[in-house]
Amino acid sequence: MNLESKLTILADAAKYDASCASSGAQKTNSRDGKGVGSTGGAGICHSYAPDGRCISLLKLLLTNSCIYDCHYCINRRSSNVRRAVFTADEVVKLTLDFYKRNYIEGLFLSSGIIRNADHTMEQVVVVARTLREVHDFRGYIHLKTIPEASPELIETAARYADRISINLELPTQESLNLLAPEKNMARTKQAMGRIRFKLEEAKDRKQNGDTKLRHATGQSTQVIVGADASTDADFLGRSDELYRSYKMRRVYYSAFSPIPEPSVILPLKAPPLMREHRLYQADWLMRFYGFGTKEILTPEMPNLDLELDPKLAWALRNRQDFPVDVQKATREVMLRVPGLGVRNVDRIIRIRRLKKIRLEDLARLRVSLAKVQPFLMTVDHNPARYLLDSDRLRARFAPQPQQLELFQ
């Protein structure tokens, strides 16, 4: 099989990994002379570098052959797809060729498991080592690692990569037993714990002046949403544990997408994309707004409201905490006001040292007055109590019902 055919198969197979979302986009191009730009080329995706820049990556699988049989995965061993495998040298060549043509700024490399975890991980490490040591490649490298591989191999991978990740896939062992029977939550967590330890060790060494040390600076993971009955509370509870105990940089929520010739235990339909979006919003609230998972979701309400963003839904359930006086409230309390983001809360705190805050000050900060007015007080605004207590407050924010399409 020639290199181009392999690239077609293995770049396409990599698109199911959500950590680089743009490569999963519907393919479009401007070859007909109309429009500008394209998506879904040969495995080019976008990601964020440690300094916050958005960068293009060549996103590939080393192989789509796999000895595991995860039901949700198109590359599982019982799947009837064309298989291909790159040699390490082929991936190195492609990366350098794409890089020199200025198509990419780095490589995102994942793989199905061939022979066994160590053999596969060795090949991944050879690619990264050759790029770094033989070709002095200084672009970005993100390596997906296999939790079952030996700790030494994962550690070596972290020395060549900028970002390293292990996909958790599902939030509980019960879900894994059902859909990915060869995977084990405890083993994955062990590997994440070791990576955390090594990342911290490398950070300490750098802070103590070891400027030559090259090491990944963070780890991330991905979970698949909607492939089984796991609730949003299951996902957020697990993410909370990963952020706290393993210092995960990001948990990516990837809505399950039906695959050709699916296993009979999978749902026929993808979950609403809004569910993925709401999970990202709730995740953001946990990381940057001081919300606990048990505040966002409860045993009685284990799934996020698809109609309202999670902060607004929380505020409507906790109306006794509002209105908040922006002149006096603490930063933590203001962060809970629907419509106020971190940046604006910090700006308001700076401004209120100098003057009394009025609605026009919030408007100047481009705060949505329609959203915040029921929940806060300014020197010239105090929302009527009946508005806050009204049953109609939710209706004011929920999307308007739409008439269904008329079929003729």
Q: Where along the sequence are the contacts to ligand SF4 (CB under 6 A)? A: 66, 68, 70, 73, 75-76, 112-113, 180
Q: Which is nearer to ligand SF4, 17 or 305 (CB)?
A: 17
Give CA–CA dist 236/227, Å, rounded.
Answer: 16
> Taking the complex as a whole, how short is the minimal distance between the CB of residue 37 and ligand SF4, in angstroms?
31
Q: Which is nearer to ligand SF4, 188 or 378 (CB)?
A: 188
Give CA–CA dist 194/54, Å, rounded.
Answer: 28
For β-strands 54-61 and 44-48, DSSP reports them as antiparallel
> Taking the complex as a whole, how short is the minimal distance between the CB of residue 390 and ligand SF4, in angstroms?
48
Q: Which is nearer to ligand SF4, 38 or 190 (CB)?
A: 190
Q: Which is nearer to ligand SF4, 55 or 67 (CB)?
A: 67
Q: Which is nearer to ligand SF4, 180 or 376 (CB)?
A: 180
Q: Which is nearer to ligand SF4, 64 or 239 (CB)?
A: 64
- The counts of H helices and E strands in the chain are 16, 9
DSSP 52: S
Dmax over CA atoms of the chain, in Å, equals 72
| Nearest Cα to Cα of residue 115 among 82, 66, 156 | 66
Burial environment of residue 358 by CB neighbours within 10 A (0 to 12, 13 to 18, 19 or more): middle
- Give residue for tokens 């050709």: 260
For β-strands 106-110 and 140-144, DSSP reports them as parallel
> Taking the complex as a whole, how short is the minimal distance between the CB of residue 196 and ligand SF4, in angstroms?
22
> Taking the complex as a whole, how short is the minimal distance between the CB of residue 31 and ligand SF4, in angstroms?
32
Q: Which is nearer to ligand SF4, 166 or 195 (CB)?
A: 166
> Taking the complex as a whole, how short is the minimal distance between the CB of residue 71 and ligand SF4, in angstroms?
9
Give CA–CA dist 187/196, Å, rounded.
Answer: 14
- φ, ψ of residue 89 in degrees (nearest 5): -60, -35
> Taking the complex as a whole, how short is the minimal distance between the CB of residue 262 and ligand SF4, in angstroms?
13
Q: Which letter, b or e, does each residue of 32-43 get, where b requires 16 or more Cβ atoms within 10 Å of its Cβ?
A: eeeeeeeebebb
Please check whether residue 33 is in contact with residue 27, taking contact to mean a CB–CB distance below 8 angstroms: no
> Taking the complex as a whole, how short is the minimal distance between the CB of residue 281 and ligand SF4, in angstroms?
26
Q: Which is nearer to ligand SF4, 28 or 150 (CB)?
A: 150
> Taking the complex as a whole, how short is the minimal distance between the CB of residue 297 and ligand SF4, in angstroms?
27
At position 34, the amino acid (one-letter code) is K
Q: Which is nearer to ligand SF4, 176 or 313 (CB)?
A: 176
> Taking the complex as a whole, how short is the minimal distance between the CB of residue 363 and ligand SF4, in angstroms?
49
| 264-271: long-range contacts, CB 8 A cutoff, minimum separation 24 | 265/71, 265/178, 265/179, 266/71, 266/72, 266/179, 266/227, 267/226, 267/227, 270/226, 271/225, 271/226
